[in-house]
Structure 1
Amino acid sequence: FATVRDDVSLDEVRAAWQGAEGSPPAYASVETVALLRPVLGDFAGVLTPQGQLLSAIESDPGALAILPFDQLDPRFKALTVDGVNVLSNRFDIRAYPLAVALDVSGRGASVVQPLLRDVILPYTNRDASRLTQLIMTGVTAMSRVTALRMDQKGYDYPSRVISDVFAAADITHISNEVPFLDDCVADPTENNLILCSHPNYWAALEALGTDIVGLSGNHVNDFGREGARRSLTWYRENGIPYYGSGFNVNEACAPLLWEHHGNTFAFIAALAFWPENAWATTDLPGACYYYDNRELLLALVRQLSEAVD
């Protein structure tokens, strides 16, 4: 994103909306202004057609765009407002200051409500039953000094601060670079590049609510092909979905399909780095090597982009 800012207060939004001195410029469409005038007051920002908001604020650093939820684009950064995150699966609409509702009350309300019900469909532009929150991490390797600290302080030690955030996601995806082996011993030697994790360390990933594990790192075969087989077997026996590695190249390059709230996903991963003994072959385990399987992978991406959301 073009900004590192995460939160804005309602007072700041209102000041920008009303064109207060020293406030960043606010951009909004005519339709949004009509909806939010009762909440934010008269608009003194820049009226912008809905489809031009992104390009407008990209050329105006620090500017705020106010737009309907259903018009969000992944290229926008959705700021929390007074700490309330409209993208969260724990979102409470009653706490969100920019929510606008139509209420019918008073004499005759019971007659008017049924007449309006079909006119205002859909009832909301934010249907929580169709939303999925996905968190994907970068690579992890619970080895060396990290492993030593886990042995000393508890197997969930690396996750204690962040577990609440990760576990709240509907899908928590971890990229794990090293094999799980029951005879793995922590080796904190500085130059040790042969890495593994003891299955006890899974407690750290379990505390994060891990649902999916990507196995496309170049340390997956650090303990040889047999170590890779043992680790993959451990994942299978514990019912942990994985992709990016496999018992052979076909499995390693195969997509992992996922569904949540009617939203469909396909996960594919490949390794574009050495060592060669980390690459899966027709009959040996390892990661899907990108350059040997490039055309297959690109064809899969094209095919799956039409099949999943």
Structure 2
Amino acid sequence: MRLSDFDFDLPEELIAQEPSDLRDHSNLLIPSPIKSQIVKFYNLPDYLVAGDLLVFNNSRVINAKLILKKNNKEININLNRPIGDNIWLGFARPSRKLDEGEEFSFGKHKLKIKKKLEFGEIEIKFYLEGISLFDFLDQYGLVPLPQYIKRSKIKKEDVDRYQNVYSEPKGSVAAATAGLHFSSELMEKIIAKNIDMVFVTLHVGAGTFLPVKTENIADHKMHSEWCEVPKETADKINKAKKDGRRVIVVGTTAMRTLESCSDNKVVFAGSKETSIFITPGYKFQIADVLITNFHLPKSTLFMLVCAFAGYEEMKNIYKYAIDNKMRFFSYGDAMMIERKTSK
């Protein structure tokens, strides 16, 4: 398929700039060929049944945005992923204002621009005095809101709202946004309905926002991310599949983790780097249902949901969402879609 096949017109006013007032008060689309419904996300338990198994990505977002000052100008750095001891790759805007070998101080700590790579990517070495990199970022970094959230400043509420309530291991530089709708209260209600929850980890990289630039999508090179499936999670998912119970995956990052760590429809425990690229024609092994936000036109994430629920079906679902003025992207609304099975 071609990149242009995954384009659609999205009114700019539908790109959410703020989260909903309360986490679980965002909208949830329940598509149906007969009559689709838009409900509040806190109604999710009404669409779950006892025995369902929910799979979440529990990676925690780090303060991955740094601001460097040079000649009274600001240069934004968004960290992507580690490649060595206190050595990270990141993206600089504008990168042309940086030189290899330059150093920038943050109190008694400093960072050095080791290399300038293609497309604004840079390699950074951190020199820290008595603290870990994550502690350094907690002190000097900012919440890495996506560029399509066009605000002059990050708000205090973003520190909490651009983070999932169940997140634990630090490492993501962007949120696994499907989970942003879940409040602690909602998760308690789901558990009370005899619905189990398990967790995988995928540290989301900045590459999740990189555009696809090749018209032939088969030529696109996917970014690499670290993921892990604990043994308890693998065992519970495999048991649910064996019992014929639904596996409901929360978010495309959890989906990519499961598909990267499965073989012959069985999930295996362990950790790995994954650059899996899921497009229409892909045969899913694990998930029966996907809860996800609405994604960018021509993005790898939109391609994934088209592969999962059907290309024509997703085009119609997105048109319905746009016609009903649902909110898109990280702080936007969600949908609950079923895997399309071949007849």
Report the structure number with the largest CA radius of gyration.
Answer: 1
Q: The TM-score by the shorter chain falls in which range?
A: under 0.3
Please state which structure has a larger fraction of its residues in helix.
1
Structure-2-length-normalised TM-score: 0.23
